[in-house]
Amino acid sequence: MTASALSFDGAGADLGHKTIWRDLNAEIGRGEFVAVLGPNGVGKSTLIKVVVGLLPVAAGTVTVLGGPPGRHNREIGYLPQRRSFDATMRIRGIDVVRLGLDGDRWGIPLGPFGNRDRRRRANARIDDVIELVGAAAFATKPIGQMSGGEQQRLLIAQALVREPELLLLDEPLDSLDLPNQAAIAELVASISRERGVTVLLVAHDVNPILPYLDRVIYLGHGAGLIGSPEEVITSESLSDLYDTPIEVLRASDGRLVVVGQPEAPSHHHDRHEH
Amino acid sequence: MHVIASSAQLSWNVVDDVRQMFSFRFMVNAYRAGTIAAVVAAVFGWFMVLRRQTFAGHTLAVVGFPGAAAAVLAGVSVQYGLLVFCVVTALAIAAIPSASGIGYGEETALIGTLQAFALALGYLFHSLHGGSLDGVTSLLFGTLFGVTSTQVVILLVVGATAMVALTVGARPLLFASIDADVAAARGVPTRGLAIGFLVLLGVAAAAVSQITGSLLVFALLVLPPATAQRLSPRPSVSLPASVAIGVVVTWLGLAAAFFSPYPSGFWITTIAFAAYVVAVLASRSR
């Protein structure tokens, strides 16, 4: 096993014939908590999809857990960007978590006729991970009837249930209220710290996760920067990245405000890509 | 045979009534065919409802009509017409581009276009053959009381094959239905499963529609699963419940039709609908 969990070497990504970003160089070590930041449409979700092998690498190389993207997906927990489950989705939260464990196996669960040991281990694993994300109280409700924060906790449980080495979270804080944003951010940070899981988390707003981050990747204008938040989220480096004056302000409570950040040209791309 | 059926007297002695029904060969076959159709429809419908593909399912059921009409026109067995039309339509729906294989938005408009065209073709084929309105009625509403023993065997073979194939893919299909992106990242062939499911749904609809008619397949395909999913969010409960509801509704509907002047399709659909309403009210009050 190599020392780094994830490395980008002159990497680039396209959507169709459109270049999304190029020349991304980054090494992410095992156990690091890294955020991918940038305005809408710069290709943050694209970055995650390249890492998980759902989109091809268009230039350079990307190495994930010592192999090409897609090779070690068993060791990756992936939480895609989503709206949410609609209210008529009549499946329990715990069933959604279970699919993260064995949903890719053919056939049907044998229930009482199956291997008893394996079933007990699986059940213990699922209970454990639901406990970890603090979802025990509502895991047996239909997932469509849960709040956004409850659904997000169970989806993180689903991503964690195979004890992955790398966790890819695409906008996990989207559509959550502020207390839930803080709670989920703290949960992800504690998982990363206590279990040594590498986390790559896409976010619009750095503030809820800022206290926990090791480093950030800032995407913009077809290129990217990596470094500690203090290095990257500064007026100088962002002005350089966007080639236009940008000001980073620090509020009295430590929150960062990026002023004058241009929207990417392909504003709608990030949301509608498939 | 409706003359025989409507002359039957309900004695309210269950044993006598059942004995009276099963003394008729056509009733025995109706129960056999109805039970197989109900089981197959309930299982496929369960996935269809979960995948939000009821409109695609409706279309697959409805194209049985032009399929059967084309077969009559060409002078071949109705079964071939049903099967070819349902499978071709399933492939056409599967070819409609989408990210996840789950139908909404512009997809539904395209499926609607297919459905309207299929119905128009059915009408054309039927008038080319110079068929009567009676023929249309039996294609649309079925001939449950006119099922032959050979048809029962064919239905059993086709239904069992489709069920075995579905069982093999059941868990990845469930994963892909709920969480297509995550399933794809885990190596589940979501596109292949979406196509495979639609084709099997087409085969099941073809098999069932020969017995129940094109319009009533849909009643068995959507009402029992929708009722069962209302009753429980646990797959291990709602899937068997869907089968149980489908079978019981079919049995009651056939018996009601035997002892009344009204057709079986009306009874089956009405009882299934009543069960759905009860389930909705029950889950509301909880």
The CATH architecture of the domain made up of A4-84+164-272 is: 3-Layer(aba) Sandwich (3.40)
Per-residue pLDDT for A269 more than 50?
A: no
- Band of pLDDT at residue A264, cut at 50, 70 and 90: low
Percent of chain A with pLDDT strictly greater than 90 = 45
B181 contacts in chain A (CB < 8 Å): 54, 78, 80, 82
- Reported as a single tens digit per residue, the pLDDT across B114-172 is 999 999 999 898 888 876 666 777 778 777 888 889 989 999 999 999 999 999 999 99
Give me the helix-helix angle, B78-95 and B106-128, nearest 10°: 160
A122–B contact, CB cutoff 8 A: no
> In the predicted model, what is the mean pLDDT of residues B269-284?
92
Identify the closest residue of chain A to B165 by CA–CA distance.
Answer: A107
Is there a contact between A99 and B99 if contact means CB atoms under 8 Å apart? no
Is there a contact between B99 and A78 if contact means CB atoms under 8 Å apart? no
Is there a contact between A91 and B235 if contact means CB atoms under 8 Å apart? yes
Q: Tell me the C-alpha distance between A136 and A128, whole Å.
A: 9
Choice between A149 and B132, residue whose per-residue pLDDT is larger? A149
Report yes or no: B43 and B220 within 8 Å, Cβ to Cβ.
no
Identify the closest residue of chain B to A49 by CA–CA distance.
Answer: B185
Written as one string, the DSSP assignment of chain B is: -HHHHHH----S-HHHHHHHHHTSHHHHHHHHHHHHHHHHHHHHHHHHHHTT-HHHHHHHHHTHHHHHHHHHHHTS-HHHHHHHHHHHHHHHHHHS--SSS---THHHHHHHHHHHHHHHHHHHHHHHTT--HHHHHHHHH--GGG--HHHHHHHHHHHHHHHHHHHHHHHHHHHHHH-HHHHHHTT--HHHHHHHHHHHHHHHHHHHHHHH-HHHHHHHHHHHHHHHHHH-S-HHHHHHHHHHHHHHHHHHHHHHHHTSSS-HHHHHHHHHHHHHHHHHHHHHH-
Instruction: Return the number of other C-beta atoms located less than 10 Å from residue A113's C-beta.
Output: 8
Is there a contact between B186 and A158 if contact means CB atoms under 8 Å apart? no
Is there a contact between B178 and A79 if contact means CB atoms under 8 Å apart? no
pLDDT at A113: 74
pLDDT at B156: 94
pLDDT at B7: 57
- Band of pLDDT at residue B5, cut at 50, 70 and 90: very low
Instruction: Return the number of other C-beta atoms located less than 10 Å from residue A214's C-beta.
Output: 17
The mean pLDDT value of chain A amounts to 86
Choice between B218 and A202, residue whose per-residue pLDDT is larger? A202
Give me the helix-helix angle, B106-128 and B54-62, nearest 10°: 10
A124–B contact, CB cutoff 8 A: no
Choose from A104, A105, A161, A272 for mutation: most chain B CBs within 10 A: A104
pLDDT at A86: 78
Per-residue pLDDT for A204 more than 50?
A: yes
Q: Tell me the C-alpha distance between A185 and A190, whole Å.
A: 9
Q: Tell me the C-alpha distance between A50 and A109, whole Å.
A: 32
Give the contacts of A274 (CB within 8 A, at least 6 positions apart): B99
Smallest CA–CA distance, residue A126 to chain B, in Å, is 16
Is there a contact between B182 and A100 if contact means CB atoms under 8 Å apart? yes
Secondary structure of residue A150 in the 3-state scheme: helix
A99 contacts in chain B (CB < 8 Å): 171, 174-175, 178-179, 183
Smallest CA–CA distance, residue B240 to chain A, in Å, is 13
From the list B283, B279, B264, B201, the residue with the least C-alpha distance to B6 is B264
> In the predicted model, what is the mean pLDDT of residues B176-180?
89
pLDDT at A83: 62
Bridge-based pairing of strands A215-220 and A59-64 is unpaired
- Band of pLDDT at residue B44, cut at 50, 70 and 90: very high
Is there a contact between A54 and B175 if contact means CB atoms under 8 Å apart? no
Domains detected in chain B: 2-285 (1.10.3470.10)
A73–B contact, CB cutoff 8 A: yes
User: ipTM higher than 0.85?
Assistant: no
Q: Tell me the C-alpha distance between B50 and B151, whole Å.
A: 30
A68–B contact, CB cutoff 8 A: no
- Reported as a single tens digit per residue, the pLDDT across A77-117 is 999 887 678 787 889 999 999 999 998 989 887 766 778 88
Is there a contact between B178 and A89 if contact means CB atoms under 8 Å apart? yes
The mean pLDDT value of chain B amounts to 87
B99, B179, B185 member nearest A96 (Cβ): B179
Cα torsion through B18, B24, B30, B35, rounded to 10: 40
> In the predicted model, what is the mean pLDDT of residues A56-73?
92
Instruction: Tell me the residues of chain A between 8 and 67 that have a Cβ less than 8 Å away from chain B.
Output: 52-54
pLDDT at A57: 94
Smallest CA–CA distance, residue B170 to chain A, in Å, is 6
Is there a contact between B235 and A95 if contact means CB atoms under 8 Å apart? yes
B171, B179, B183 member nearest A108 (Cβ): B171
Q: Tell me the C-alpha distance between A130 and A177, whole Å.
A: 21
pLDDT at B42: 96
A85 contacts in chain B (CB < 8 Å): 178
Beta carbon pairs, A and B, within 8 Å:
82
- Band of pLDDT at residue B180, cut at 50, 70 and 90: confident
Cα torsion through A253, A258, A259, A260, rounded to 10: 180
Is there a contact between B185 and A76 if contact means CB atoms under 8 Å apart? yes
- Reported as a single tens digit per residue, the pLDDT across A220-250 is 877 788 998 888 888 888 888 777 888 888 8
Query: Which 8-state DSSP code applies to residue A103?
Result: T
pLDDT at B181: 86
> In the predicted model, what is the mean pLDDT of residues A54-70?
92
- Reported as a single tens digit per residue, the pLDDT across A157-168 is 999 999 999 999
Tokens 């294989």 sit on residue: B101
- Reported as a single tens digit per residue, the pLDDT across B239-272 is 999 999 999 999 999 999 999 988 888 899 999 9
Report yes or no: B222 and B57 within 8 Å, Cβ to Cβ.
yes
Side by side, the strands of the sheet bearing A166-170 are A76-79, A166-170, A198-202, A33-37, A215-220, A223-227
> In the predicted model, what is the mean pLDDT of residues B31-50?
95
